[in-house]
Structure 1
């Protein structure tokens, strides 16, 4: 039975108590359903076929503020115009995007953040949670020593704020640096591009690190449900924050400890969050990030039709026609009657025909056929041939008579 991808989200009311209910919800409508920009499908620009996967393309980011370049290479820190403000000795901050939520978070709060990190001297990027599609939990006042400067900077931010932090080496990886992972040289000052997704105050309940498995999955699932409600209200940014915070409860360290029933319970919450984030990214035209979230789901569940469909949509928007077609073909094999998948394949076929027609018109007349003999030339050649057939025998007879006379 094919899934529907309607514009209005369909959010299930799943219970977090029983695994069976989670599995049923995950197989039906566990994530927010939508058709993304159907009205724009027939306006998609024609792009040449491409076999380049998203992982091989240069990543760029479009921001909502004017303080950062609209498009940049994420392998380098952003160039920020705002004034550098001293937070504490060894920690300075430049605001990239103002926060809209509450803050700053109080001490002992569990903060959920995304960040990229570079060594200030060499601009070597050594960490990127956005690239890993996995937000991190940072408990203020309980952080690792190497994240002391980052925690100080995050402690000055509001929810939704993004900033560039300048951290002295003594509040980062110290005199010795780190020679494992991440690889940071000795006495290296550090730059962090960080976004505060949200935080949980100590009075809200036990922090994720102190929760048992069931509590942690339940807390993540509540965030997911809240995100779905916000999405239905059209609050995309707020919905994304909830999905990101839900994922922060289920980081790699936590997931590696799970097996059997508990692993299935966690996946039943985690994958819908990735799929819902992919949907949000499609709506705000952050297609490369949508591809990343779908790829995370497909690594766990290669036959997830929604992940294939949404990744195909994102790739099509980026002009990666061959890759998009491959995703849609796989989705059609899984759900042959899925009308949305069929529609996308027809749209790609139409674009390919239009592109072929344009190329054929462009190169028309470039390679002309070899010149052929004209009718008049052919007739003249035929007349000379006939005359020569009469003259040649006479010439031979005359030559023989001449030789006889001489003898």
Structure 2
């Protein structure tokens, strides 16, 4: 099969291994592409360095989002759907690959620790933790990438990942996340409902970082966190994640000291982890704020008192007959 340069870049030589389907996609900015890739050394053995097939998880790439290794975007933009092609790339374009490969390997192995702040000289001296990548940094050489395009989703025809959205897109997503979370909650899928609420909370925390604390816009975003935090806490209460409930309801109470829902849910979580004094204080405060809760709160207080008696009895039986020095 013949080899051709990709675009006008003679540093990338392409060879089609399996023809794709249809016309070449437009690959407008924002297009989402799923693809498998295999990285090989250009030696006699064509040694495989990386292969997403082994991880059973393809790569995702958003066109125009300046992925750290631009070579892949350049290659993919020359490919049709379901095409498989080999790209031999000159070392001049491979400077970023060792760090990108390290990050991806760490993610797949569960050891990824976020961004590295080491300079290039330090990395060359201390290494990346992978012998083949360390060698590639010290002795740059051509690499072959065998890429298979699995799906191409045009911009606007799918929901972007949150990290890929701009501020306006994130704001528009908030009501959708609320509705989706509520629907999942009603269906009894508390885990996935909590995930939707958590996404919304994450967006609002990102928006808070763009504003000055105490300013009108900052206060508005901060207040919008409250219903999501309450819903998130209710899901985790039902899932039995009581310390998460205490943490997030406490956050609500700091913002809104008179929030009865937060007090009541925190009280139930305190009972579950056996913080009886804290639970009683929250229940009494909730009753003080909303007298309509009289029956519900008194029932909870009665249950708490009964549990206290049972706990005292258990303790007496446990230590009965023991000699303390």
TM-score, normalising length from structure 1? 0.42
1:257 partner SS: coil
Match of 1:244 in 2: 198
Is this contact kept in 2: 1:217–1:269, CA < 8 A?
no
CA contact (8 A) 1:298 1:307 kept: yes
CA RMSD for the aligned pairs?
A: 4.7
Q: Is the 8 A contact 1:308 1:327 kept in 2?
A: yes
5+ unaligned residues in a row in structure 1: which ranges?
1-86, 110-138, 157-162, 177-185, 190-199, 367-407
Q: CA deviation at 1:209?
A: 5.4
Query: 1:344-363, aligned counterparts within 5 Å?
Result: 344-356=300-312
Q: Which has the higher helix share?
A: 2
Alignment partner, residue 270 of structure 1: 225
Larger radius of gyration: 1
- Distance (whole Å) between structure 2 residues aligned to residue 360 and residue 335 of structure 1: 37
Give how far 1:231 is off. Answer: 0.8
Partner of 2:246, secondary structure, is helix
Deviation digits for residues 212-252 of structure 1 (CA, Å, limit 9, x no counterpart) = 4xx53332222112101111122222212211211221125
Specify the alignment match of 1:220 in structure 2: 174
Instruction: Tell me the secondary structure at the aligned position of residue 106 of structure 1.
Output: strand
Matched, 1:174 2:118: yes
Deviation at 1:276, TM superposition (A): 1.0
Query: CA–CA distance in 1 between the matches of 2:187 and 2:200?
Result: 19
Structure of higher RCO (CA pairs closer than 8 Å, 6+ residues apart) = 1
SS at 2:111's partner residue?
strand
Answering whether residue 97 of structure 2 is matched by residue 141 of structure 1, we say no
TM-score after normalising by structure 2? 0.51
Distance 2:105 2:204 in 1: 24
Report the alpha carbon displacement of residue 317 of structure 1 after superposing the two structures with TM: 0.6
Unaligned stretches of 5+ residues in structure 2: 1-37, 40-48, 70-95, 121-125, 130-152
Deviation at 1:255, TM superposition (A): 4.6
Of the three residues 48, 54, 60, the one matched with 1:106 is 60
Is the Cα–Cα contact under 8 Å of residues 216 and 249 in structure 1 kept in the other structure?
Answer: yes
Distance in structure 2 (CA, Å) of the matches to 1:340 and 1:148: 56
User: 2:296 — aligned with what?
Assistant: 340
Tell me the equivalent position of 1:211: 167
